[in-house]
Amino acid sequence: METAVKIKNLTIVLGGRFKALKNVSIDLPAGKMVGVIGPSGAGKTTLIRGIVGRLHINSGTIAVFNQPAGSPQLRQQMSYMTQELSVYPDLTVTENLRYFAIMTRQPRKQIKATVLKVLEAVDMTDKASNLVSSLSGGEKQRVSLAIALIGSPKLLVLDEPTVGLDPVLRENLWELFAHLADQGHSLIITSHSMDEAERCDDLVLIRNGRIIAHSSPLELRQRTGTQTVEQSFLKLVGAKI
Amino acid sequence: MSARQTFATAGRVMSQLRHDPRTLALLFLIPPILITILKYVFQGEKSTFDHIAPLLLGIFPMIMMFLITSIVTLRERTSGTLDRLMTMPIAKLDFILGYAIAFSLLGFLQAVVTGFVMLGLLHVTVLGGAVSTIVGAVFASFLGTSLGLFISAFAKSEFQAVQFMPAFLFPQILTCGLFIARSQMAKPLQWFADIMPLTYSVDAMKRVTMNSTWTSLLTRDLIIVGAFGIAALILGSATIRRQE
């Protein structure tokens, strides 16, 4: 199986003191939906920010498509949806998308089509000319996701993309993610919702900066002899305390 | 470096302001109103007013642009948009230059409006004429913009950013020769003033007021102001980190 991300003996220290990740080694497959789950403060966002190249690595390595994380060449092959909304509230939805389309170097002639395409993907076409500040929380979230879809990057790194969305929308987005994976895109998605995790092809469970499990949801349930990922997680955590 | 991305960033910043008419109104109304008030403060001393008003045109744009850019870039740092941009194929200098272009353009418009009120409505006598006056004010706003971009890197919150204005600009305003000739100040303050950019911005406006022709000293002052601005932009782009 092809790997999208290869991490070896990774340690990341935040703010000079806090060891957010402790000697983590893991390979994440390409062309799949990989879920990174764990409680708040477990190190999910740190792992993700390491993968997109935004963090200084204290020791170990992260390779994305066989290039060190943060390499300039990677910037055109992946997208990053941060946990904060990271959209401009004082611009319209279209103005936001157009701007980020230029920032990701989409060909001039394709910008209009690209914007329409991602608007449709997140079902925001009818709000395209609204100011982002006038949108609801869930709508803002979708604009932020739409930016990550621009240019259909090989790797999409999404930090809590479905948090705060209503169930119907969440369902639609997970279908969209599955569809993207079917088309060969690699997705890395963090979530602290365990029921969402069931939908991933591959799961990484993090706790206290360490990876406590890495397998498909099915294997995980079988191995722990439980019915749901949530129960598996609790069992694993219980076993390790 | 990509001109397309630089100008897209400048355009984006302009669009953000376009959607915020109140900020734009404040930007264009405050300096003319303050200068008008000053005229009536110095009602009995027109010559003093004639002397001070143009100098303020070297200071106001700088203060306002400094405040606005430091807040707006701080917002960019804290809202996650800069975080996202730094994973994209855009050069840091393109980002900074985009801001510099947008706010310098705004500074130009502000200078035109304020200059018009000062020269056309309040009949301030400036020997150097309208064009030199506006050129001087544009340099001042460029300086304010680039210093604001740079300083915002050291602020963790809007509270801090706002206070950098009195902390960083007021000492310069006090010592730039606006209140008293610099040669009358204590020596250490003279040395301080000599290395501060606002001094040269105010000196430039003084020269515009007092000379009917463009002097080489005016050119020198403007070059110094411009150089400070460019240096602040380069330092500002160095404060943006791809990796934290």
Q: pLDDT tens digit string along B142-179?
A: 999 999 989 888 888 889 988 998 999 999 999 999 88
Residue A174: domain span: 31-44+71-240
Minimal C-alpha gap between B86 and chain A (Å):
8
* Helix axes of A137-149 and A93-103: crossing angle, nearest 10 degrees: 30
Q: Give the length of chain B.
A: 244
Record: contact A88-B88, CB cut-off 8 A = no
Question: B231 CB near a chain A CB, below 8 Å?
Answer: no
Per residue in B13-40, pLDDT (tens digit) is: 999 999 999 999 999 999 999 999 999 9
Torsion B104-B110-B112-B118 (CA) sign: negative
B29 CB-near residues (< 8 Å, 6+ apart): none
Q: 3-state DSSP call for residue B80?
A: coil
Residue B155's pLDDT is what? 87
pLDDT tens for each residue of B81-92 = 999 999 999 999
Does residue A54 sit at the B interface (CB-CB below 8 Å)?
yes
A69 touches chain B (CB under 8 A): no
Q: Shortest CA distance to A64 belongs to which of A157, A127, A137, A144?
A: A157
Q: CA of A105: which chain B residue's CA is closest?
A: B89
Ranges of beta strands (E only) in B21-84 are none
Mutation target among A74, A90, A130, A134 for the B interface, most CBs of B within 10 A: A90
Shortest CA gap B99–chain A (Å): 14
Strand partners, B58: none
Tell me the residue type at A77: Q
- Interface probe with A: pick from B9, B19, B23, B72, most Cβ of A within 10 Å: B19
pLDDT of residue B1: 83
Q: Is pLDDT above 90 for B8?
A: yes
CB contact (8 A) between residue A102 and residue B84: no
Chain A: give the shortest CA distance to residue B92, in Å.
11
pLDDT value of position B10: 97
Long-range contacts of A111-116 (CB under 8 A, 24+ apart): A114/A150, A114/A151, A115/A150
> Is A135 part of a structural domain of the chain?
yes
Q: Residue A241: its pLDDT value, please?
A: 43
Q: Does B22 touch chain A (CB under 8 A)?
A: no
What is the rounded CA–CA span in Å between residue B134 and residue B144?
Answer: 15
Which pLDDT value is given to residue A233?
86
Is A164 or B69 the better-scoring residue by pLDDT? B69
Strand order in the sheet with A67-68: A18-29, A3-14, A59-64, A67-68
B34 touching A, CB under 8 A? Answer: no
Contact B20 A76 (CB under 8 A): no
* Alpha-carbon gap, residue B16 to B167, rounded angstroms: 28
Q: What is the pLDDT along chain A (241 residues), one digit of tens a residue?
A: 789 999 999 999 998 888 899 999 999 999 999 999 988 889 999 999 999 999 999 999 999 999 999 999 999 999 999 988 899 999 999 999 999 999 999 999 999 999 999 999 999 999 999 999 999 988 999 999 999 999 999 999 999 998 878 888 888 889 999 999 999 999 999 987 888 888 999 999 999 999 999 999 999 999 989 998 888 888 888 755 4
Q: What is the widest separation between alpha-carbon atoms in chain A? A: 57
pLDDT band at B12 (very low <50, low <70, confident <90, very high): very high
Three-class secondary structure of residue B72 per DSSP? helix
* Interface-testing mutation among B13, B243, B244, with chain A (most A C-beta atoms within 10 A): B243
* A104 part of a folded domain: yes
Cβ pairs A/B, distance under 8 A: 77
The pLDDT value given to residue B57: 86
- Asked if B204 and B221 touch (Cβ cutoff 8 Å), the reply is yes
In-domain check, residue A12? no
Residue A214 belongs to a domain: yes
Distance CA B45, CA B37 (A): 14
Interface test with A, best of B84, B85, B86 (most A CBs within 10 A): B84
B84 near A CB under 8 A: yes
The whole-number pLDDT of residue A239 equals: 58
Q: How many angstroms separate the CA of residue B17 from the nearest CA in chain A?
A: 8
Is any Cβ of chain B less than 8 angstroms from the Cβ of A103? Answer: yes
A23: in domain:
no
pLDDT number for residue B78 = 87
Query: What single string gives the DSSP state of each residue in A100-164?
Result: HHHHTT--GGGHHHHHHHHHHHTT-GGGTTSBGGGS-HHHHHHHHHHHHHTT--SEEEEESTTTT
Whether chain B has a CB inside 8 Å of the CB on A48: the answer is no
Q: Is A102 on the interface with B (CB under 8 A)?
A: yes
DSSP state, residue A74:
G
Q: Do the Cβ atoms of A86 and B83 come within 8 Å?
A: yes
Determine what percent of chain B falls in helix, strand and coil, rounding each to the nearest 5. 80, 0, 20
pLDDT of B223 strictly over 70:
yes
Across the interface, whether the CB atoms of A80 and B87 are under 8 A apart is answered yes
At A176, which CATH number?
Answer: 3.40.50.300
pTM of the model: 0.91
Q: Please report whether residue A179 resides in a domain.
A: yes
The count of structural domains within chain A is 1
B158 min Cα distance to partner chain A (Å): 17
- For residue A197, tell me if it sits in a domain: yes
Asked whether residue A65 is assigned to any structural domain, the reply reads no
Write the CB contacts of B181 (distance below 8 Å, at least 6 apart in sequence). Answer: none
Question: Which member of B9, B89, B243 has the closest CB to residue A105?
Answer: B89
Residues of chain B in contact with residue A54, where contact means CB-CB under 8 angstroms, are: 83, 86-87, 242-244
B83 CB within 8 Å of a chain A CB: yes
Q: Which residue has the tokens 């069931």?
A: A198
Minimal CA separation from A201 to chain B, in Å: 26
Q: Which long-range contacts (CB under 8 A, 24 or more apart) does A106-114 make?
A: A106/A150, A106/A151, A108/B4, A114/A150, A114/A151
CA distances from B204 to B54, B140, B169 (A): 10, 10, 17
Partner B contacted by A169 (CB < 8 A): no
Chain B residues within 8 A of A103 when measuring between CB atoms: 5, 8, 85, 88-90
**Phi, psi at residue B223, to the nearest 5°?**
-65, -40
Q: Using CA atoms, how far apart are residues B63 and B14, in angstroms rounded to an integer? A: 19
